[in-house]
Structure 1
């Protein structure tokens, strides 16, 4: 960061100095014509002095138009007095920037004063045009300085987007002219290491899927052979093996979500119909009272398969921990779709409502092992909603249980 600030400071500092010096030189020799005008006026004054010295002041035809003063009537600066003695034309300016010319005649007493003359003013368009060109050059130099920095920032943005979507084939092209080249190289190295870890995780998931299922299958076969000798003990062991299989399935399902977003396609989805379909499945498999209030013609942009998974997990959660009643509500609020799934179960303490969305989190006081589950259902809900720019949070229901609220951006129905 210090290198970036120092580079920007010195670049702007030296650029302003170079532009100012160049502008002053160009303005003096091209934009501002006053020096040439004064040079021409001095030549005219020299010619007039030669004429006056030749014919004399008394014989000059336009003597009345001349302003003749005595050299001693003016308090000259020493350098001006010396210049007059050498026969030079002395120029002075008044408070209005008008100039006057003084020249000493041959008698070394008489001074001819010409003026005051108003110098030719440069056009306002020339003045501001010159400023515009100067600032445009500075802006161009800043663009040249910022271009490598912009390319590196765009590359970092592309790398983070690739990592977020599970694309592990990351290519990097660091720019050695950028002020943040060192930082870019470190982040690119970190991104490559992250991509490598994600690739290793993917291989590990595939290995677990194959290597763990094989011994579990052998255990199930061995338990089946031992069942006649000790049925009760074998039944308990079989339940443990089945639980291990379910855990592996849940872990693999959650791990695969890390690599599913890239292949996920999104369309305009009638969420009202999707929620009603999932409620219909819940009614067929539930022995609890299910109430629902579903607003019609609500659409979202997303993947219907994964959004259905969100609804299934929330409904299964309410089915497990609700006592007698489940309530589902879908409504539209401020261009956002709000889905609420409430139950009359034991609820969730306020200090633990955020932690329930973490993987493998189970509340021992209210979520006992007998109810099933491994603490991955809500983590899957959070992951899928993040792909759809949505979120989920917990509040207390009006039935004193838990209410899981889902918010998604509403989408216009493009099929009309």
Structure 2
């Protein structure tokens, strides 16, 4: 940051000094010496004053007057008597050059002339061009910085989309070149970690499933002499197999989120369908309040997974009652599932969405699950720019509320 500030300060300082010196040189050697009609006329008047004799008739553009024929101001009269050339203006604003001949009586007027353009206009014009040049120089200084910042944006978007081919194109003229290089090192590490994760998913899928299959086959071939031990081993194998399936399913969500396709569908029908599936196998009492014909733009397959996980969660930890609601408000669509279980304390409500986290003894693997259900819910909702929050239920347990943008 110090390097960036020093570079900017030095660049602006040098640019301002160079522009001021250049402008001053141009002004002295070009603008002030630029001839115009009026200044040229003054030079002609001085020449005429020095060489003009009594032959005014030979000069038709001149006319001789008596000095007393015009009411001069005292200071104007004094300047004329001192052989100076004075400038006056007629009723139309045109300039007249007046001077006395050597007899100090005969007055000569040259003109009328259009007055020279006000010099203030040139000053403002030069100021404008000076600042314009300074802006252009700043653009040249900022261009490498801008390219590096745009590269930051491109790389982050590239990683977010799952593209791991991170390329480094740093500019040695940029004031943040060191930061850019460090960012690319970090991006390469992130890409490497993401690639390792995908390889791990593949390894779990192939390397762990094969020995599990052999172990299950060996247990099936055992004699029945140690039935209790074999039954326990079979339970452990099934638990491991279930955990692997959950882990693979959660890991596959990362890949699925890269190609998520959204389309409009009837959320009301999907909610009723998931409730009917759960009612067919559950012994709980259901209270359902669902508005009709609510349509959202989302991925129906993954939203169904969200509804299924939340409903099954309420069925597992609720005692006897489950309340489901779906309502459309002015700016959002709200879906909630409540149960009459033990609930979740406020300090643990964020933790339940973390993978493999079970916050208390009532929510353990013996009831089913491995702490991934709510993590999957939160990840899917994140894709849809939504979020699940936990509140106290009117039934006495926990209430899981999802708000979809309308």
The answer to whether the superposition gives a TM-score over 0.5 is yes
Paired with 1:251 and 1:385, the residues of 2 have a C-alpha distance of 19
Distance 1:382 1:219 in 2: 35
Q: Secondary structure at the match of 1:179?
A: coil
CA contact (8 A) 2:285 2:321 kept: yes
2:193 to 186, 191, 197: 197
2:150 maps to 154
RMSD over equivalenced CA pairs, Å? 4.1
Per-residue CA deviation, residues 132-162 of structure 1 (Å, 9 max, x unaligned), is 5555444444433333333222221121122
| Corresponding residue for residue 40 of structure 1 | 40
Whole-angstrom distance in 1 between the partners of 2:255 and 2:338 = 31
Matched, 1:373 2:369: yes
Q: Spell out the pairing of 1:99-138 with structure 2 (5 A cutoff).
A: 120-122=116-118, 134-138=130-134
User: CA 1:147–1:334 in 2, change beyond 3 Å: closer, same or farther?
Assistant: farther
Pair 1:295 & 2:288 matched: no
Question: 1:9-36 CA deviation, whole Å, 9 max, x = no partner?
Answer: 3444444444555556666777789874
Separation in 1, partners of 2:120, 2:140: 30
Aligned ranges for residues 32-111 of structure 1 at < 5 Å? Answer: 36=36, 39-40=39-40, 42-51=42-51, 61-64=64-67
SS at match of 1:260: helix
- The gaps in structure 1 that reach 5 residues or longer are 75-83, 93-98, 411-416
Counterpart for residue 7 of structure 1? 7
SS of the residue corresponding to residue 286 of structure 2 reads: strand
Matched, 1:356 2:355: no
Which position in structure 2 is the counterpart of 1:399?
A: 395
Shift of 1:242: 0.8
Q: Aligned-pair distance for 1:348?
A: 0.1
Superposed CA deviations along residues 222-244 of structure 1, whole A, max 9, x for unmatched, are 22233501111211221111111
Cα separation, partners in 2 of 1:317 and 1:230, compared to 1, 3 Å: same
Asked if 1:408 corresponds to 2:404, the answer is: yes
Whether the 8 Å contact between 2:38 and 2:114 is mirrored in structure 1 is no
3-state SS of paired residue (1:342): strand
Asked whether 1:213 is paired with 2:209, we answer: yes
> What is the aligned partner in structure 2 of residue 263 from structure 1?
259
Tell me if 1:307 matches 2:303: yes
Count residues with an aligned counterpart. 388
Give, in angstroms, the shift of residue 321 of structure 1.
0.3
Q: Secondary structure at the match of 1:300?
A: strand
Selected match of 1:277 from 253, 259, 273: 273
Q: Give the alignment partner of residue 183 of structure 2, picking from 183, 187, 193.
A: 187
CA contact (8 A) 2:267 2:296 kept: yes
Point out where structure 2 has 5 or more consecutive residues left out of the alignment.
55-62, 88-94
Secondary structure of residue in 2 paired with 1:259: helix
Q: Report what 2:381 is aligned to.
A: 385
